[in-house]
Amino acid sequence: MHTNAVQRWTTAAKCARSCLTSIRRDVRTRKASSHRLVAAHESGGRSLAAPTSSRGFSGDSGHDDAYTPEQRREDHRHCVELVQTRDSEGYLCGLLMPSSAREAYFALRAFNVEIASIKDSGMLVAGRSRARTGQNTDGDGFGDSTLASRLRMQWWNDAIRGIYEEYYEPDSQDPLLRSLVSSRKHNPTLRSLGCAIKTHGLTHRFLKRIIDAREADLEISQYESLRDMARYGEDTVSNTLYLALESVGVRDEESELVASDVGVGLGVLTALRSTGFRVSQGECTIPVDLAKQNGITMDTLYSVLGTAMDEDKGEEIEGSRESLRVAAKEMADMASFHLHRARDDQTKVAKAGRSCLLPAVCGLQYLDSLKRVDYDVLHPSLVGAGGNAVALERRRRLGLMFYLGRSWLTGIF
C-alpha cells in the first residue's frame, strides 16, 4: 500500500514539475528582458516598484488580478491572526515593530509558521498512521508524509521564485497544474509576502535559505553536532531577522552580524523548548555528540518524558534526568554565548533596526527560566504541565510583555 501511494505521489510530482518547468522555460525565454525582479541592494541601488491597488501579482495567476486595498488588509489580518495563534512571542514582538514595516514583519512570520508546520504536520500524520497500524515504520513510515512534505516545500519554493522572476502560468487544461496555479493565487500568506517583497525589496537568497534548510530538516531526526544545530538556526532564524531588518531599511554587515548571533541563540533554544514534543514524535533534540558524551538514548528521553508528568516515579530515573540536564546546560550555554554577544554588540545596529531584534528578549527570558529549574527542559513550569500551568503561563507572558516594552522604549535588550 505504501509503495503504491509513493508511486502515485512521485508520478504526480514529476508530471507537475515537468509541466511547470517547460512552461517557465518558454515564458522566461520570451520575456526575460522585461520581467525581472532583483533585490534592491543587489541591483546597484535601483528601487523596486511597490505594488499598487490596480495591479496584482501576475506571478502565478496567469493574468493580472486586481489586488485591492481591502484584499491587502484581509491578507494582513490573516497573517496577524496566524502568528498570534501559532507564534505568540513573535506576535508580541510584531506589535512593537514600526508601522511602516509591521505588514512585512507579519507576512514573514506567517510564512515562517507555514513552512515550520510542514514537518510537524507530517510527523503527526505518520504518528497517527503508526498508531492505527501498530507498526514500527522506521523504514517506510515517513514515506508518504515525507514526500507530501517535500511537495509542499517545493510549492513554496516555486511560488516565491515566481514572485521574483515574475513569470506567469498560462491557462492549462491539466487539472493538477490548474490546481497549483489556483492555490498560489488564493493563498493570503503568499500574497502578503509578495507585497512585502515588492514593497521593501526583500532579498531572495534569504528566503531560499530558509526553505532549503527547512526542507533538509524534513528527514533529520537528530543533528550530528551542536555546530550543525547552530547552522540550522543561522539558516532559519537569522535569515528571518535579516529580512526583518531589510523591511525597516537596514542593510549593513554589522547589523547582520548581531542578527546572526541572535538567530543562532534562538535556534538552539527552540530545539530545547521543543524537546517534549520532538521526543513524543520519535526525534531527539540533543545532538549526537552531546548524546554520546552523556549517555543519552531515545529510551533515556522516553523515560524522562514519562516521569515528567508523574513526579512520583522521578527517583527511579534520576540518572537519566541528570544526563539530560547536563546536555541541556551545554546547549543553553552556547545559546547564552551568542545572545549575550549580540547584547554586547547591539549598539552597532542602526536605531531603526533594533526593534527587529526584540525576539532576543524572548530567548533571554527562557534562559533565565531554564536556569531557575537547573536546566530541566521538561520541568512543568516550562512545558505548561501541572495544576498551576495557566497561572504560570500568565505570569510568564506578563513578564515578557514588560521586558519587551522596556527594550522597545530604551532600544536595548
Domain boundary among 196, 219, 242: 219
The three three-digit cell numbers of residue 15, written as one number:
508530471
Q: Is residue 51 part of a domain?
A: no
Nearest Cα to Cα of residue 276 among 368, 383, 358, 197: 383
Q: Are 328 and 377 members of one domain?
A: yes
What is the C-alpha to C-alpha distance for residues 185 and 165, in angstroms, rounded to an integer? 16
79 with 192: CB under 8 angstroms? Answer: yes
- Asked if 338 and 394 sit in the same domain, the reply is yes
Q: Among 54-58, 103-107, 295-299, name the most confident range.
A: 103-107
Which has more confidence, 46 or 350?
Answer: 350
Q: Which residue has the higher pLDDT, 218 or 28?
A: 218
Domain contains 404: yes
What pLDDT, on the 0 to 100 scale, is given for residue 118? 95
Do residues 232 and 186 share a domain?
Answer: no
Tens digits of per-residue pLDDT, 28-49?
Answer: 433 343 333 333 333 433 333 3
Residue 336: pLDDT band with limits 50, 70, 90: very high
Q: What percent of the chain has pLDDT over 70?
A: 72
Report the range of poorest mean pLDDT among 82-86, 314-318, 354-358: 314-318
Q: What is residue 305's predicted lDDT score, i.e. its pLDDT?
A: 84
Sorted by sequence, the CB contacts under 8 Å of residue 220 that are 6+ apart come out as none
Check pLDDT > 90 for residue 343. yes
Same domain, yes or no: 238 and 290: yes
Question: Are the beta carbons of 208 and 197 closer than 8 angstroms?
Answer: no
- Is residue 56 over pLDDT 70? no
Domain check: are 194 and 320 in the same one?
no
Residue 273 domain flag: yes
- Residue that is last in its domain, among 219, 240, 263: 219
pLDDT digits (tens, 9 = 90+) for 82-141: 999 999 999 999 999 999 999 999 999 999 999 999 998 766 655 544 444 444 444 444
Grid coordinates representing 215 are 526542507
Percent of the chain with pLDDT over 90: 62
Domain boundary among 219, 252, 276: 219
pLDDT at residue 150 in the model: 93
Q: Are residues 233 and 185 in the same domain?
A: no
Residues 285, 191 share a domain = no
Domain membership of residue 175 (yes or no) is yes
- The confidence band for 392, taking pLDDT boundaries of 50, 70 and 90, is confident
Asked whether 98 and 356 are in contact (CB, 8 A), the reply is no
Q: What's the pLDDT at 391?
A: 87
Do 248 and 113 sit in the same domain of this protein? no
Query: What is the pLDDT, as a whole number, of residue 205?
Result: 97
The confidence score (pLDDT) of residue 131 equals 41
Gap between the Cα atoms of 376 and 386, Å rounded: 15
Distance, in Å, from the CA atom of 289 to the CA atom of 327, rounded to the nearest integer, reads 10
Task: Name the average pLDDT for the chain.
Answer: 81
169 and 73 within one domain: yes
How many structural domains comprise the chain? 2
Q: What is the pLDDT of residue 199?
A: 96
Q: Are residues 169 and 295 in the same domain?
A: no
Q: What is the CATH number of the domain that holds 337?
A: 1.10.600.10
What's the pTM?
0.79
| Residue 7 forms part of a structural domain | no
Residue 6 forms part of a structural domain: no
**What is the per-residue pLDDT for 174?**
62
Report residue 166's pLDDT band, with 50, 70 and 90 as the boundaries.
confident
Per-residue pLDDT at 263 exceeds 80? yes
d(CA 261, CA 340): 9
Q: Answer whether residue 409 is part of any domain.
A: yes
| 51 or 264, which is more confident | 264
- The verdict on residue 10 lying in a domain is no
In this structure, the answer to whether residues 379 and 413 fall within a common structural domain is yes
Is the domain of 389 the same as that of 249? yes
What is the residue range of 100's domain? 27-37+62-219
Ramachandran bin of 249, using left for φ above 0, alpha for ψ from -120 to 50, beta for the remaining angles: left
Q: Which residue has the higher pLDDT, 384 or 47?
A: 384
| Distance in angstroms (rounded) separating the CA atoms of residues 255 and 247 | 13
Written in H, E and C, the secondary structure of 247-298 is HCCCCCHHHHHHHHHHHHHHHHHHHHHCHHHHHHCCCCCCCHHHHHHCCCCH
Q: Is the pLDDT higher at 362 or at 2? A: 362
Instruction: Give the pLDDT confidence score for residue 10 in this predicted structure.
Output: 47
The residue ranking higher by pLDDT, 168 or 383, is: 383
Q: What is the mean pLDDT of residues 209-228?
A: 96
